[in-house]
Amino acid sequence: MRVLIVDDQRPFAEYLGQGLVQSGFSVEIASDGVQGRDLALGRDYCLVVLDLRLPGMDGYSVLKAIRQVKNMPVIVVSGLDSLDEKVSCLENGADDYLVKPIAMSEFIARVGLHVRRACSPEGSGARLQIADLVLDLARKRAERSGQRLDLSRKEFSLLMVLLERPGDIISRATISERVWNMQFDATTNVIDVAIRRLRRKLDDPFDHKLLHTVRGLGYVLEQR
């Protein structure tokens, strides 16, 4: 399995790369945003580790370019310890956000988690269904009334969390932990934004709505 590290701080990139190699991964390093973008789009990787402050093209632009084409996991590893930065990256498709300096044990654990999630067949052919909505976990595909829903990886994960317990109210804390691997922060609107985007694809084109907000408690997926 091959990981791409995009970071202009060569000693830090090599530090992460050494840990990955010792854990069984192969590693390629890009030292600027343009090279990182071109490698990410032109080759196959199981995961991308991305810094934000990059010469040539900043990390936000690299992330957006990747998300327009590919769904592989992207972990942002940055020296910017700002809530706004974290929320912006998560809203634009990052799977995780780690702040430098980072312990190697935590880094490897996060990488392993996202690689397993991306590669797991989620039950080897299992399907989740409610009304005319079908989620094919093995193929990472969602359909409603036979029409394929063009979901991002985060939207698919969010829908899966809701569809695992149809009719139950799923709290924001549960969604935050299951989808973003982080504790719920009431000061951010990342979940609201994700729900709005999912609802536009899941419900807006159809007469019968399945995704409902339960004010003060969370969200529920059910046929009413």
CATH of the domain at 111: 3.40.50.2300
Is the domain of 135 the same as that of 74? Answer: no
Residues 137 and 103 placed together within one structural domain of the fold = no
Residue 123 has pLDDT above 50, yes or no: no
Residues 76, 131: one domain? no
Are residues 154 and 93 part of one domain? no
- At residue 115, φ and ψ (nearest 5 deg) are -65, -45
Do residues 156 and 136 lie in contact, with contact meaning Cβ atoms separated by under 8 Å?
A: no
CA-CA distances (angstroms) from residue 94 to 103, 136, 168? 20, 23, 28
Report the alpha-carbon distance of residue 154 to residue 158 in Å, rounded.
6
- Domain residues for the domain of 202 are 127-221
Strand partners, 78: 99
Strand-strand pairing, 211-214 and 218-221: antiparallel
Q: What's the confidence (pLDDT) of residue 120?
A: 57
Residues 159 and 88 in one domain: no
Q: What is the CATH number of the domain that holds 178?
A: 1.10.10.10
The reply to whether 71 and 172 lie within a common domain is no
Asked if residue 94 lies in contact with residue 63, where contact means CB atoms within 8 angstroms, the answer is yes
Region 99-110 average pLDDT? 90
Cα of 103 vs its chain's centroid, Å: 21
Average pLDDT value for residue range 105-131: 76
Last residue of a domain, one of 119, 151, 185: 119
Based on the structure, what is the number of domains in the chain? 2
Last residue of a domain, one of 64, 89, 119: 119
Q: Closest Cα partner for 166 from 210, 213, 121, 208?
A: 210
pTM for the model: 0.65
Please tell me whether residues 144 and 189 are part of one structural domain. Answer: yes
Check whether residue 18 and residue 86 sit in a common domain: yes
Strands 133-136 and 127-130: antiparallel
Tell me the per-residue pLDDT of 179-217, one tens digit each, with 9 for 90 and over: 887 777 777 788 999 999 999 999 999 999 999 999 989
73-78 average pLDDT score:
94
Q: What is the pLDDT of residue 178?
A: 84
Residues 112 and 7 in one domain: yes
* pLDDT score of 119: 66
